[in-house]
Homo-oligomer: A and B are copies of this chain.
Amino acid sequence: MISFASDNWAGASERVMACLAQANAGPAPAYGNDPWTRRARTALAALFEREVTAFFVATGSAANSLALAAYSRPGGVVLTHRDSHIARDEAGAPLQFAPQLIDTLDGPGGRIDPAALAARLADYRPANVHNGRPTVLSLTNVTEAGQCYGAQEVAALAAMAKAQGVAVHMDGARFFNALAHLGVSAADLTWRAGVDAVSLGLTKVGGWACEIVVLFDDALAEDTAYRHKQAAMLFSKNRLAAAQACALLEDGHALDLATHANAMAAKLAARLAAAGAPAAYPSQSNEIFVWLRPQMAERLRAAEITFAPWADMRSAHAPTAPADLPGAGLHRFVASFRTTDEEIDAVARTLGADD
């Protein structure tokens, strides 16, 4: 099997495995009071160029739910893109952790349209108990369409939110892919741009099961620690998670893995385009969305190459098939830290586009 189905089909990087083995030696206090957790916190501070408040969790939904809950208030409303993970792919987990409405906005490429945000914020003015109140703006970066918000785009949206007392969350399930594409620092893409909380994804980039809720406001630390425990997310042997974080955050390992995955995706996109399967969006991450004619999809499947049909965009800005490819369907291919040139060659070869 050659997998472009999802980056969560890959396992963990060798460095992660090695770090886990090291962390396994000897006893260590439970619940995060161990040296590996301290070391991971140090690495987080280096990444963000400041002290942060961090909570380790096992899933991306948990990270998003806890981050949103940290900023939840009675009658709260989360503003997010219509195709975002929290709106579409978490079975309502954010509501389970705090009862809050999810109010969705449109915009191309999975990015929230600034004008749509401005209008929606205005909708909630003046505040009244009936409508509830916007409490968090959640931006997904890399978006569900594999696209990136640049630091200035984030800052512009965040400024609108902040002007109305709305906190800003970044769903960074593929955060390092965004950093790799944009060439900006983690600090510039988050707190310096007005982001208050990040779901920092380490699983897809090369970990096993480690996502970190990063808060830039230490005043929320105490309440969120109780939320973390009450949500049943506090690992007893937290050094397991911390060791993954150490491996990935130290020496730029996660960024290296993301850079590789992005490059592989771009290469794959180019090869697919050459084979008559153009992309719906520019390559901005390790995810590409490609128009495939049914026969092409079948040929790939027959070769045990996995990928995902993608009929799943609800946004008014969902892409439409090119005129010269009638009947083509949108398909997602995701590269991972493990993707090889050989695998890409195999795709191209299967489509008959290769020498």
Contact = CB atoms under 8 A, between A and B. Distances in A.
Interface of A: 1-3, 5-6, 8-12, 17, 20-21, 23-30, 57-62, 64-65, 69, 73-77, 87-93, 95-97, 99-102, 123, 129-133, 203-204, 208-209, 223-237, 239-241, 306, 312, 314, 338
B27 A62 contact: no
A230 B92 contact: yes
B8 A237 contact: yes
Contacts of A102: 101-102
22 contacts: A8-B236, A9-B28, A12-B237, A27-B338, A58-B209, A59-B233, A60-B236, A61-B234, A65-B232, A69-B74, A73-B223, A74-B226, A75-B226, A88-B130, A95-B100, A96-B97, A101-B102, A123-B312, A123-B314, A129-B226, A130-B229, A209-B240
Contact of A209 (B5, B225, B235): B235
B226 A209 contact: no
A204 B235 CA distance: 12
A185 B93 CA distance: 37
A68 to B, nearest CB: 11
Given A59-B235, A131-B88, A232-B97, A226 B73 contact: yes
Contacts of A74: 69, 91, 223-224, 226-227, 230
Given A17-B21, A95-B100, A230-B93, A129 B75 contact: no
Contacts of A233: 58-59, 62, 232
Contacts of A73: 223, 226
Given A17-B24, A224-B74, A129 B234 contact: yes
Contact of A230 (B23, B60, B75): B75
A282 to B, nearest CB: 26
Contacts of A58: 57-59, 209, 233, 235
A234 B59 contact: yes
B11 A239 contact: yes
B77 A229 contact: no
Contact of A229 (B20, B25, B93, B228): B93
A123 B92 CA distance: 16
Given A132-B230, A223-B74, A234-B129, A11 B29 contact: no
Nearest to A63: B232
B30 A232 contact: no
B8 A232 contact: no
Contacts of A29: 5, 9
